[in-house]
Amino acid sequence: MSWSYGGSRTGRAVAWSAEQGSVAVTCLDATNTNVSNFGTRDQLVITGGGSALTTYAIWESVAVAPGRNGVTKYTVTFRILDS
């Protein structure tokens, strides 16, 4: 898992950015990686491993990478939204 938060400021009087950041989650199971989730907006909560983030995000994409010995990696990307 990796995530980045923040982007260039757009507003003059307020600190607002059109690009809030993104989250990429890589897993070895297809659970919750179905393309029917595309465009779903909901609260995203990340805890553990020294990371903590609670924000709203939209399910943006999934990448599938078949590997050796039948192991397939799924990477789901979320776009962080201005809450």
Structure confidence at residue 36 (pLDDT)? 87
Measured CA to CA, the distance from residue 29 to residue 75 in angstroms comes to 10
User: Do 14 and 48 touch, CB atoms closer than 8 A?
Assistant: no
* Number of domains comprising the chain: 1
Query: Rounded mean pLDDT of 16-34?
Result: 82
Domain extent at residue 49: 2-80
Q: Residue 83: its pLDDT value, please?
A: 60
pLDDT at 10: 63
| Spatial CB neighbours of 83, under 8 Å, sequence gap ≥ 6 | 55, 56
Residue 70, amino acid: G
For residue range 37-54, list pLDDT tens digits in order. 899 999 999 888 888 889
Q: How far apart are the first and last CA of the chain?
A: 22
